[in-house]
Structure 1
Amino acid sequence: MSTHAGASLVSSRLVAGRLLGKKDAGLGAYTLKAQRDGPIYYPRVLPDSAGFNYESNATGEKVTTRLPKEWMRDNCSCAECVNPVTRQRSFDILAHSRLIEPSQVLPNMDGFEVLWSDHHRSRYTWHWLQSALPGGKHPYAIEVAQRLWNRRLIYENPPEISFRAVMKENSVRGVADLTSKIREHGFCFVSNTPVTPEDTKSLLERIGPIRNTHYGGFYDFTPNMAKADMAYSNAALDLHTDTTYFTDPAGLQAFHLLSHTGPNGEEIRLHERGGQSILVDGFYVAHRLRLERRDHFQTLQTIKLPWHASGNQDAAMTPAKAYPVIEGTSKSVMRIRWNKDDRGTLPLNINTKWWYNAAREWDTIVNRQENQYEFLLEPGRVLIFDNWRILHGRREFWGRRRICGGYINRDDFISRWKLSNFPREAVIANNMIAA
């Protein structure tokens, strides 16, 4: 078996490289030298009976990573192994003999090729390999800087985009801007939207399909208690996230106020209406709780409890398992699940005092006026927000409001955000690597 080594392309900005045909004494491997504006790296891929050793000193210290041969063969992305149309695997590593061995490694400036004992040829790029390594990062990072906010930080300049920009044909720039604002701030207004359910629905479908629930799909309702939920009333609503009772809570939610009149359709003055909407950044609340009472933060992150929706006769919803209020890690929050009205019974096999104290402190921070962004919904100005992050509520109102909107699945939203803001190939490559 011949052994070769390759050079690692540590940046997408490689500007020059030289192949050195000099044999590395005592290692039986040829080394490629990749040179760019900066350090020179000498990594190698060395095959043996069990797989490959990837050696690199890109960080200044020699690091060796084990690459199992089955893993390497399984990750061949050629047209024979991955369907180029569907991007699904065509080669089933589980159905093939474990006796398939690497017979030769051929390096080049972009990566290396492996010739296998069954005569198959696999090509791997340094970009891909480095992103797949533990702690590795893809050269095209798919990420966004989330901006946590309180009232002072958001009141003067809330995120907003025009309906026309989002709906512009043959362009994704508006959708890219809208989804980026939602990813960054947790919500966005869409101004100058035609005051019709049809146009509102078309706007949401620019992001993704409307999600169907036991309430239906796209909603268009007045406070008539057509559904057994306080949202269908005139009453004030405490700050909460929606669909806590789903295993997969709704990703986005949208509200468009179509009209607000008196009970009989008469006009009412603005100051008599009530119904102010309130938004709170749940990630900011989690941040404050972690700073002020880390023990309470940990309690709400670890103690899991049931959630339910039981008011409608034809539905009794609860998640597949219990979930905590705060989901994520000690450094990064992924999702908030908070609705005091839809919470089930606290289990007795936990320290209930800890949970009640932590939840009380959480609720206190949520209801600090300095953390609340308050405004009136207006016809023509659609609110779209991240239901995994933003808590929403409203004040009691008088009269008859007609509101339309809908839910969008989280995965559909994230897919649209990625594909409208980043190259498709970069998105697919990132999706293939474990976070």
Structure 2
Amino acid sequence: MWCCRLSHLHGRLQNLLSRGVTCSAFQQPNFKSLFPLAIRWHHTASNSLNCAWQQHEDHFELQYANTVMRFDYLWLRDHCRSASCYNSKTHQRSLDTASVDLCIKPKTIRLDETTLFFTWPDGHVTKYDLDWLVKNSYEGQKQKVIQPRILWNAEIYQQAQVPSVDFQSFLETNDGLKNFLQNFLLYGIAFVENVPPTQEHTEKLAERISLIRETIYGRMWYFTSDFSRGDTAYTKLALDRHTDTAYFQEPCGYNNYDRAVINTVPYDVVHRWYTAHRTLTVELRRPENEFWVKLKPGRVLFIDNWRVLHGRESFTGYRQLCGCYLTRDDVLNTARLLGLQA
């Protein structure tokens, strides 16, 4: 009797699967205990669409566009783009995420052409275009092509012969600006040439790609070796490799000069810190990892403080320098507006 019943259920299941559809339950007593897999949804679309999906106990699995994606059910309910859940004019949610059952699961799922429909226990229907799910899935994001970053040293950078961008091209054409930003994203440094050597023109250059960040040094800083701010930068002394504003709440990076007293960790951790510091310093001071540039009036250098350290040798004579700090979000946003994957 058991074998006959199991054979009957298996045959019925295979018949339904061959047609590409299964239902959530069969009209058989105790079917869940007899055939646990049958309580899961499984749907294979036509071969031309090359799409398949399966409803698991705790997530929804979709295979489409050569990508296997997994979605939490709460995520699927929360990202509903229906008029009652999402304001398409402001691109903001209307749905109160905190009101959704943390254990929510769809009551039914169906595929119509290239659109998935999820019906929830309260009767609300959420629909998703398959391409939208690919674009916004975790797995789809991992495959997304981003602007490459090149890990380089002095030899690699010199052999690449990275071109500078002319001041007028930078200011007046999107192509010039895009070429500059592409170099900046690739290497973390980029040059603009033929800039009138004034603070006003340097400021105008910076504003082309970002808001200028106000700091304790002002909007634009302009200094020489007069020690006016009690900082080594305002002297003729050499500056070791560093990044600026390490003491900010949102720092640009590492700065050995401005390192505070280490008094927040025990002695054994302190020694490990010094060991790590020594390893880092040795790497930074290797000649092959240093790229020396002699700045001259009219040449502006942009540096990504998250990637590239900078410094200087000691000097004699008189030197004036001006510059500013930019907001990283705005620099990357400008790059994206020009079609770069920043």
- Give the structure-2-normalised TM-score: 0.76
Across the aligned residues of Structure 1 and Structure 2, the Cα RMSD in angstroms comes to 3.4
Q: Which deviations, in whole Å up to 9, do the C-alpha atoms of 1:353-376 show, x marking residues without a partner? A: 333233223212212222211121
Q: Secondary structure at the match of 1:105?
A: strand
Deviates more, 1:153-162 or 1:396-405: 153-162
Q: Which deviations, in whole Å up to 9, do the C-alpha atoms of 1:15-54 show, x marking residues without a partner? A: xxxxxx9443676765322537xxxx4412548xx77632
Name whichever structure is richer in strand by fraction.
Answer: 1
Given candidates 267, 292, 296, the residue that maps to 1:378 is 296
Seq. identity, %: 31
Deviates more, 1:361-370 or 1:103-112: 103-112
Name whichever structure is richer in helix by fraction.
Answer: 2
Asked if residue 137 in structure 1 is aligned to residue 146 in structure 2, the reply is no
Q: Secondary structure at the match of 2:230?
A: coil
Asked if residue 390 in structure 1 is aligned to residue 308 in structure 2, the reply is yes
- Structure 1: distance between partners of 2:122 and 2:46: 30
Max radius of gyration: which structure? 2
Asked if residue 43 in structure 1 is aligned to residue 46 in structure 2, the reply is no
Structure 2 counterparts to residues 189-208 of structure 1, below 5 A: 189-208=191-210
Q: Which deviations, in whole Å up to 9, do the C-alpha atoms of 1:204-234 show, x marking residues without a partner? A: 1122111111111222222222222111222
Consecutive unaligned residues of structure 1, counting only runs of 5 or more, are 1-20, 251-336, 428-435
Displacement of 1:80 in angstroms is 4.1
Given candidates 30, 33, 48, the residue that maps to 2:46 is 33
Q: Which amino acid aligns with 1:214?
A: I
- Give the structure-1-normalised TM-score: 0.61
In structure 2, the partner of 1:211 is 213
Q: Per the alignment, do residues 174 and 33 of structure 1 end up closer, same or farther by CA in structure 2, a change over 3 Å counting?
A: farther
**Conserved 8 A contact 2:22-2:43:** no
**Conserved 8 A contact 1:186-1:389:** yes
In structure 1, the partner of 2:80 is 76
Asked if residue 231 in structure 1 is aligned to residue 233 in structure 2, the reply is yes
Asked if residue 419 in structure 1 is aligned to residue 340 in structure 2, the reply is no
Q: Which deviations, in whole Å up to 9, do the C-alpha atoms of 1:302-334 show, x marking residues without a partner? A: xxxxxxxxxxxxxxxxxxxxxxxxxxxxxxxxx
Structure 2 counterparts to residues 49-64 of structure 1, below 5 A: 53-56=60-63
Displacement of 1:141 in angstroms is 2.0
Structure 2 counterparts to residues 260-275 of structure 1, below 5 A: none
- Structure 2: distance between partners of 1:201 and 1:66: 47
In structure 2, the partner of 1:89 is 93
Given candidates 354, 369, 380, the residue that maps to 2:287 is 369
Q: Per the alignment, do residues 94 and 57 of structure 1 end up closer, same or farther by CA in structure 2, a change over 3 Å counting?
A: closer
In structure 2, the partner of 1:345 is 261
Q: Per the alignment, do residues 65 and 101 of structure 1 end up closer, same or farther by CA in structure 2, a change over 3 Å counting?
A: closer
Displacement of 1:185 in angstroms is 0.4
In structure 2, the partner of 1:24 is 21
Displacement of 1:99 in angstroms is 10
RCO (CA 8 Å, sep 6+): is it higher in 1 or 2? 1
Displacement of 1:86 in angstroms is 3.3
Asked if residue 113 in structure 1 is aligned to residue 117 in structure 2, the reply is yes
Displacement of 1:405 in angstroms is 1.4
